[in-house]
Amino acid sequence: MTLPTDAFAFAPGLALTRRLRSTPFTSRVEAAGVRSYTVYNHMLLPTHFRGLEQDYHHLRRAVQVWDVSCERQVELAGPDAARLAQLLTVRDLRTFAVGRCGYAPVVDNDGLLINDPVVLRLANDRFWFSVSDSDVVLWAGGLAAGLGLDVTVHEPDVWPLAVQGPLAEEVVAAVFGEQAREIRFFRFAPLPFRNHQLVVARSGWSAQGGFEIYVDDAALGGELYDALMGAGARYDIGPGCPNLIERIEAGLLTYGTDVTRADTALEAGLDRYCSLDAPIAALGIEALRRQATAGVSRRISGLIIDGDAVTPPRDPWPAHAEGSTAGQITSAAWSPRLATNVAIGMLAIEHVVPGTALTVETTAGTRRGTAVEMPFPGASQR
Ligand code: THG
């Protein structure tokens, strides 16, 4: 039976008004046949082009250009920029040299997640927080004002464009020159495009490898999009976007869906990015140290869900174990490669053990589920 994995299309249309910001690439994305959008940081984010499964296979095989302008930059600049940056995140930024970027949880005083950005150190006294879907500019600006810090906090107009897939390096090298190949994972460098220097990083929200280009001049957007598409023609390049199936397999979390304001960074499983032993003055680090000592009572887990293809959840699906509540499933999709449904959920800690059997109340009825480790086998080609 073929179930509609393109089920987003059944939602009523969105009125595309000014509050729902378009991007310098929107005309290209629409000409390329975008079939659905979501809203992220008050901005349009494509969710599929040809179909979730077709987009998935193409991303793993070739290369795609993604309009991820919704990854907004919150810029901190000035004498107290480093102090504010370290107050905002529990990841030790002393280890971030200029030219380095990294995943860095932003939490409140209780260790609860405000955001999970990628942080770029542009200069000793200048940072970009490349944010997920929450208004970090208000949180950071409020802290700066309340503490009287000597720093400017604003959201510059920068529109990231991602090139993702195993052939991404070929395309980026063709457009930006051979120096692009020298950029290491989670490093960035300014590279020339049409007499303009653009920040180019080896990063992106897939496990297929690739780059993110931080476009800081809207007028260059269309030209860059076309140049990448032109250079990529011989590599079967196509339009794309973060892919639900691929990112579940990779274990990439989405703020607002898998983890929210109600979860701590440790419950989100972001332990690797929390420098709890470092002598840093980050907000919430004490709360996280205490939670690490006491142990978390729930945590993000991978799951497989038996049976035929599920339609991805809109609202979370309850999960049970031996008749009592075990947690909830927030993301799920059919993996054509693994021939099972792959999922992400927040489970009580006693169930976060690979092999634990659960029942999941999916939209398609009660299904058997099993907790598994993430990433899923074979997810990464990076
Ligand atoms: N790129 C940029 N900004 C972003 C995202 C991005 N902002 C919003 C959102 N995505 C933030 N969330 C993530 C989640 C995971 C990763 C990046 C951004 C990621 N993690 C790597 C991993 O899990 O393998 C490791 C990161 C590291 O080593 O520091 O890539 O995608 N610009």
pLDDT, residue 12, reads: 80
pLDDT band at 5 (very low <50, low <70, confident <90, very high): low
The answer for residues whose C-beta is within 8 angstroms of residue 106's C-beta and 6 or more apart is 88, 89, 113, 114, 115, 116, 117, 129, 136, 139
Model confidence over 106-128: pLDDT tens digits?
A: 999 999 999 999 999 999 999 99
Probe ligand 1: pick from 73, 121, 205, 255, max atoms within 8 Å of CB?
Answer: 205
Residue nearest to atom 22 of ligand 1 (CA): 252
Protein residue with its CA nearest to atom 21 in ligand 1 = 103
For the chain, give the percent of residues with pLDDT over 90: 95
Q: How confident is the model at residue 2 (pLDDT cuts 50, 70, 90)?
A: very low
Q: What SS3 class is residue 197? A: strand
Q: Which atom of ligand 1 is nearest to the CA of 103?
A: 29
Return the ligand 1 atom nearest residue 133 CA: 8
Full set of structural domains in the chain with CATH: 26-68+157-247 (3.30.1360.120), 69-155+264-294 (3.30.70.1400)
Identify the CA nearest to 246 among candidates 335, 184, 163. Answer: 335
Q: What's CA 65's distance to the chain center, in Å? A: 16
* This prediction's pTM: 0.96
Q: Which two tokens stand for residue 223?
A: 């030209």
Q: Is the pLDDT of residue 3 over 80?
A: no
Strand partners, 153: 76
With 90 as the cut, is the pLDDT of residue 146 above it? yes
Instruction: Say how many Å lie between the CA of residue 200 and the centre of ligand 1.
Output: 15
**Mutation probe of ligand 1 site: the residue of 92, 115, 200, 203 with most atoms within 8 A of C-beta:** 203
Q: Which residue's alpha carbon is at the smallest distance from atom 9 of ligand 1?
A: 132
Question: From the CA of 117, how far away is ligand 1's center (Å)?
Answer: 7
For residue 106, the SS3 value is: strand
Q: Are 261 and 303 in contact (CB under 8 A)?
A: no
pLDDT confidence of residue 6: 52
- For 268-307, the pLDDT digits (tens) are 999 999 999 999 999 999 999 999 999 999 999 999 999 9
Band (8; pLDDT cuts 50, 70, 90): low
Least confident of 51-55, 171-175, 242-246, 322-326: 322-326
C-alpha closest to that of 161 among 68, 227, 235: 68
160 close to 69: Cβ distance less than 8 angstroms: yes
The separation between CA 20 and the C-alpha centre of its own chain, rounded to angstroms, equals 19
- Residue 177 binned pLDDT confidence (cut-offs 50, 70, 90): very high
pLDDT at 1: 41
The overall average pLDDT reported for the chain is: 96
Tell me the β-bridge partners of 210. Answer: 164
Lookup result for tokens 């995140």: 89
For ligand 1, atom 26, the nearest C-alpha belongs to 103
pLDDT at 92 over 90: yes
Q: d(Cα 50, Cα 244) in Å, to the nearest integer?
A: 13
Select from 42, 252, 273 the residue to mutate for testing ligand 1; criterion: most ligand atoms less than 8 Å from CB. Answer: 252
Mean pLDDT of 185-204: 98
Residue 75: phi, psi to the nearest 5?
Answer: -95, 130
Residue 268 near residue 320, CB atoms below 8 Å? no
User: Residue 188: beta bridge partners?
Assistant: 201
